[in-house]
Amino acid sequence: MDVKTAAELDEKYIAKTYGRFDLAPERGSGAEIFDSDGKRYIDCGSGIAVNLFGICDEKWKEAVKGQIDKIQHISNLYYSEPQIRLARMLCEKTGASEVFFGNSGAEANECAIKAARKYGSAAGRYEIITLKNSFHGRTMATITATGQEEFHEYFGPFLEGFRYADPTPDSVAKCVTDKTCAIMIETVQCEGGVIDLDEDFLKWLDAFCQETGILLIVDEVQTGNGRTGYLYSYAEFGLRPDIVTTAKGIGGGLPLGVCMFFERCAGVLTAGTHGSTFGGNAVACAGACSIVERLTGDFLAEVRGKAAYFRANLSRIKKVKRVTGRGLVIGLDCDNGKSPKEMADACLEKGLLVLTAHDKVRLLPPLTIKKEEIDEACKILEEVIDI
């Protein structure tokens, strides 16, 4: 469908919750996307960190098709071999005790919030501290957890029991009460503007949670699954989370959310306390297995190398003040008087898909992006940013 027709029909039939770019992607391969006119784009968005191994990755397609030929959906009333395979792989790779499967990041975080409250319920602890500028999803509980006013307008009253801290020891400590059950963070606030949390703060938080018995929840919906060059980003700092959530890239392009429970939280959710009809869909899990099994030490080292190369080249662009984020979560803080949206539109025009996050241009390329494609992307970004 050409973009003009698409824009007209979209406007007519689809609720206007999204600001869309002027593009209707039709097909692709790896980090290349084509529209219906055959125009080529380099993809540095991955459908917001979703198409982890690029578009139409062969191994992922094979796994998905193989499962579709057997059975497309198994209700959670029965045992599911693809779920078991994926859960076992995740537990063995991370040291988690058990996992719950949902369909999205918001659902993974809902599950984490419920589990933290159930864990604290016997002691009357239900408060969860999240950080200002965080993003945890769009459901009522997860927008409440999200520490950004702009998401709260219109939708109150909110869930009780959330407190928002600055990412400093003082501010977190001030939010703690005898009702606190958990502290929930992202290591990089991606939607919040690709802001890295300070390493010393993360380490302090880890020690604080160990000391006080408050649960540490790390939201790895965007940073997880190899994107920062680590299987999950908390590993870079040696954090010991009790709950880790992920989604986006883990399904390789199909909807899947995961809430991983570590030792202290194992067994907290019991029969009947949580569930999801589609959660851990067989096709999504089969595809995810083909993704997670390739996130090996060697592969992650390659991602770190690629990220270092990409970042070094971006930091050479004259009007790039700062390159933020970690690994292949990249934020560009530019000093050229242009808004991130203006720059993203100009990139699109020149055949490069990028995203924005508050005051930054945001890049989330597939982890399999090639060196030549990184070079091409940097060349377009330089033209757009410096001119």
Ligand X SMILES: *Cc1c(COP(=O)(O)O)cnc(C)c1O
Distances (CA, A) of 53 to 60, 79, 85, 252: 8, 28, 20, 7
* Cβ proximity to ligand X, 31 vs 185, nearer residue: 185
Q: Nearest distance from residue 201's CB to ligand X, in Å?
A: 17
Buried residues in 25-52 as b, exposed as e (16+ CB within 10 A): beebebbbbebeeeeebbbbbbbebbbb
Please say whether the beta carbons of 40 and 32 come within 8 A.
yes
* Cβ proximity to ligand X, 120 vs 137, nearer residue: 137
Q: Nearest distance from residue 211's CB to ligand X, in Å?
A: 26
Cα of first residue to Cα of last residue in the chain, in angstroms, is 32
* Cβ proximity to ligand X, 218 vs 265, nearer residue: 218
Please say whether the beta carbons of 10 and 20 come within 8 A.
yes
Q: Nearest distance from residue 162's CB to ligand X, in Å?
A: 15
* Cβ proximity to ligand X, 141 vs 352, nearer residue: 141
Q: Nearest distance from residue 42's CB to ligand X, in Å?
A: 22
* Cβ proximity to ligand X, 111 vs 247, nearer residue: 247
How far does Cα 280 stand from its chain's mean position?
A: 17
Instruction: Map 295-341 to HEC letters.
Output: CCHHHHHHHHHHHHHHHHHHHCCCCEEEEEEECCEEEEEECCCCCHH
Distances (CA, A) of 317 to 210, 309, 311, 370: 42, 13, 10, 20
d(CA 130, CA 242): 15
Q: Nearest distance from residue 146's CB to ligand X, in Å?
A: 8
* Cβ proximity to ligand X, 137 vs 287, nearer residue: 137
Which tokens in the block code for residue 300? 């992650």
Distances (CA, A) of 27 to 31, 46, 66, 298: 11, 13, 21, 30
Residues that bind ligand X (CB under 6 A): 104-106, 109, 135-137, 186, 190-191, 219, 221-222, 247-248
Q: Nearest distance from residue 370's CB to ligand X, in Å?
A: 25
* Cβ proximity to ligand X, 8 vs 155, nearer residue: 155
Q: Nearest distance from residue 48's CB to ligand X, in Å?
A: 7
Q: Nearest distance from residue 217's CB to ligand X, in Å?
A: 11
* Cβ proximity to ligand X, 328 vs 346, nearer residue: 328
Q: Nearest distance from residue 106's CB to ligand X, in Å?
A: 3
Phi, psi of 122 (to 5 degrees): -60, -30
* Cβ proximity to ligand X, 232 vs 385, nearer residue: 232
d(CA 217, CA 242): 6
Closest-approach residue to ligand X (CB): 105
